Amino acid sequence: MTRRNMLAGNWKMNKTISEAINLAVRLKYACNSVDDRDVVLCPPYTSLKPVAETVDESPIEVGAQNMHYERSGAFTGEVSPDMIKDAGADWVILGHSERRQYFDENEELLARKLRTASDEDLKVFYCIGETEEQRDAGQVEDILKTQLEAALSGFGFDDFEELVIAYEPVWAIGTGNTATPEQANEAHGVIRDVISNLFNPGVAEKIRVIYGGSVKPHNVQELMAQPDIDGALVGGASLSADDFADIVKYDLEDEISLSDL
């Protein structure tokens, strides 16, 4: 089965509104002719609407980096799924390791967020991945299994508007230490096995599993050449229009130069 590639940029806590619009304009222009893969930009909440308006009428979609599991109420500082959709975003990143690490998000909380995202028809990137210590201790399979099973048990794959799994080894995020293509592909194979048991073998075949962790223009091609890698979730390199456009178009002849803009 051929799965459509997905290239998503997680801008994290970067870019003011004007900077975000500028980046989105450049990417809209640079990715204009790309129609055989999906591109999603995930700016901070404040830039969701301006970025969604900027890429409107282009194939680029927009996602939030987090959301609350309740629909409204006394949750100071939080943002609901309705607000995200109202801003023009279709996607949400859940379970990013920075949320797990700095904001104590665990599978129980993430299961609630996944339930709300599924009820509210938001498309989900669900991020999982082991730490360096866990890899060194030979626990990669156990960790991936736990992170998938504890959060996704009780769901059917069809409950989701779309569910993409992002394998993001914590030791590779923002460090410049990319997993080797073989390491990443092996982990993606584990993820498909768990998904096969959790849902069914057909879902394991069709679900997109993307890799995140120091993906750059110079290493994207060899990662994407692996059979079980269906795209990338990109942090640092998604903040540069040139770099992210190169990543999106990793195997295409580039006729468009951003310096024309």
Chain contacts with ligand PEP (rule: CB under 6 A) = 10, 168, 173-174, 212-215, 233-237
Output the smallest distance, CB 232 to ligand PEP, in A.
8
Side-chain half-sphere CA neighbours of 192 within 13 A: 19
Q: How far is the CB of 166 from ligand PEP (least distance, A)?
A: 7
CA distance 94 to 49: 19
Query: Which of these is catalytic: 96, 98, 105, 130?
Result: 96
Residue 84 or 233: the one with the smaller Cβ distance to ligand PEP is: 233
Judged by beta carbon, residue 70 or residue 162, the one nearer ligand PEP is 162
Distance between CA 158 and CA 174 in Å, rounded? 33
Three-class DSSP category at 257: coil
If the CB atoms of residues 156 and 174 are measured against ligand PEP, the closer one turns out to be 174
What tokens does 226 get?
């692996």
Nearer to ligand PEP, 37 or 100 (CB): 100
Cα angle 215, 38, 117 (rounded to 5 degrees) comes to: 95
What values do phi and psi take at 140, rounded to 5? -55, -50
Q: 254, 22 in Cβ contact below 8 A?
A: no
Among residues 98, 105, 107, 168, the one annotated as catalytic is 168
Q: Closest separation between CB of residue 14 and ligand PEP, Å?
A: 11
129 φψ region: left (φ > 0), alpha (ψ -120 to 50), beta (else): left
Specify whether 168 is catalytic: yes
State the minimum distance, in angstroms, from the CB of residue 46 to ligand PEP.
19
CA distances from 155 to 114, 148, 195 (A): 9, 11, 11
Report, as residue numbers or ranges, the catalytic residues. 96, 168
